[in-house]
Amino acid sequence: MLPWLAKLLMKSSKLNWFARRAELNSSAAKSLLATLEDNSRLNTALFAEAWPLQEFKLIQAWQHSRMTEDYADFTAQEDYLPAVNFFLSELYGDFGFVDRNQDIYRVYPVMVKLLPAAMLDTLTAALEFQAHSLELDMQMTESLVALHPEINRVGQLDLGLYIDINRQCVAEKDRRTQVGGVVSLGKSLVKVADHGVLLRLLKMMRMPARAAGFGQLQAFLEQGLSAFRQMPDADYFLHAVSQRETTFIDKLY
């Protein structure tokens, strides 16, 4: 399988065109590198010895529970479930991003040669959103520890406390930017997923990507694209996300 894929990547004029375009598109490549560096910086801070990781997990667990409840109608529908899971598990929470973003300087030159520019842009948008959300969660963690140092022992977080700590450290414009970012990312995923050749290319790259060291980033992107391609009405879903998250922000401020 690998020799066949390697031959296809090297000799197919269409795939070579994609690769050359990605390599020559310095704007897309530079944006991706900057975003990977931001994620790496946040990852390092998150796992520093003095960082209150348990309190950070409380914040993320509460958010995950809130969003799971708010989007229960979509998770009950088989065609929408993968998209909801992608946002909840891959972008808003969990620690899968840590392994995905490691050794960026080794894999980056390979990625910009193999991934078409449209995928580089979409991956950059996903990682930018992830970094922004992670930074807000880390700000809230610091506020939580400062205002309620006993929280790790008590282990309870409710809406009232969440609102208090959010108002202490997160500007309303940053929350609204977060909503705009997730909707924009969703539209980008839809746009790329609509191009079947790009999705087929990404699937064919599974084994070469693993061999090159960015298999988890490839899987991350493929999962997002496949989830949005599967949805019967992506605009309907994204409109619901925009409305529901905006309503939640109105409660926060």
In a domain, 166, yes or no: yes
Q: Report the distance separating Cα 217 and Cα 203, nearest Å.
A: 12
Q: pLDDT-derived band of residue 43, with 50, 70 and 90 as boundaries? A: confident
Residue 181, C-beta contacts closer than 8 angstroms, at least 6 positions apart:
125, 128, 129, 132
For residues 9 and 153, the model is more confident at: 153
For residues 253 and 19, the model is more confident at: 253
In a domain, 6, yes or no: no
Taking a C-beta distance cutoff of 8 angstroms, is the pair 53, 46 a contact? yes
- In this structure, of 89-93, 96-100, 139-143, 185-189, the range with the lowest mean pLDDT score is 96-100
Q: Over pLDDT 70: what percentage of the chain?
A: 83
Q: Report the distance separating Cα 237 and Cα 208, nearest Å.
A: 33
- In this structure, of 22-26, 81-85, 228-232, the range with the lowest mean pLDDT score is 22-26
In a domain, 232, yes or no: yes
In a domain, 8, yes or no: no
Single-letter amino acid code for the residue at 204:
M
Give the model's pLDDT for residue 105: 66
The stretch 58-72 carries a mean pLDDT of: 92
**Other CB atoms closer than 10 Å to residue 131's CB: what's the count?**
21
Dump pLDDT digits (tens) for 79-97: 999 999 988 887 776 555 5
Q: Which of 91, 36, 34 is nearest to 224 (CA)?
A: 91
In a domain, 67, yes or no: yes
Give the model's pLDDT for residue 217: 79
Q: How many residues does the chain have?
A: 253
Q: pLDDT-derived band of residue 172, with 50, 70 and 90 as boundaries? A: very high
Q: Domain total for the chain?
A: 1
In a domain, 17, yes or no: no
Range of 42's domain?
A: 26-106+118-252
In a domain, 154, yes or no: yes
In a domain, 213, yes or no: yes
- In this structure, of 47-51, 183-187, 209-213, 236-240, the range with the lowest mean pLDDT score is 209-213
Q: Report the distance separating Cα 37 and Cα 104, nearest Å.
A: 8
Most confident range, picked from 81-85, 104-108, 115-119? 81-85
